[in-house]
Amino acid sequence: MQLARDTVCNKIEIQMPRWKQRVVGIATYRVGTHNAIDITATGKDGQRYYPNTLYGSGDMIRACKTQLLPSGVKLFLVPIDSLTVLERLS
């Protein structure tokens, strides 16, 4: 996805995705219109599995399945394959 440099994006950092389901959990209160998602999980060699910042639109994220945690926080379970690489235009 290409966005202008001055377009406002919610920055969401994911420390570890759910590998078995190939999804990331994003709390409902974190989702905005435009979302820049960084998955910071690294391998044993120190390299990030997803080195690029990914993009997810608010509408796409809100259309995903949800899960309610015991703490009461509601998560959107977003498939990693549905996220695209974010490019900023100057």
DSSP letter assigned to residue 34: E
pTM for the structure as a whole: 0.90
Sign of the Cα torsion 36, 54, 78, 4 reads positive
Question: Looking at the 3D structure of the chain, how many domains does it have?
Answer: 1
What pLDDT does 90 receive? 82
What pLDDT does 30 receive? 96
| Ranges of residues in the chain whose predicted pLDDT is under 70 | none
- Residue 52 CA to residue 38 CA, distance in Å, equals 7
- Which residues span the domain enclosing 54? 2-89
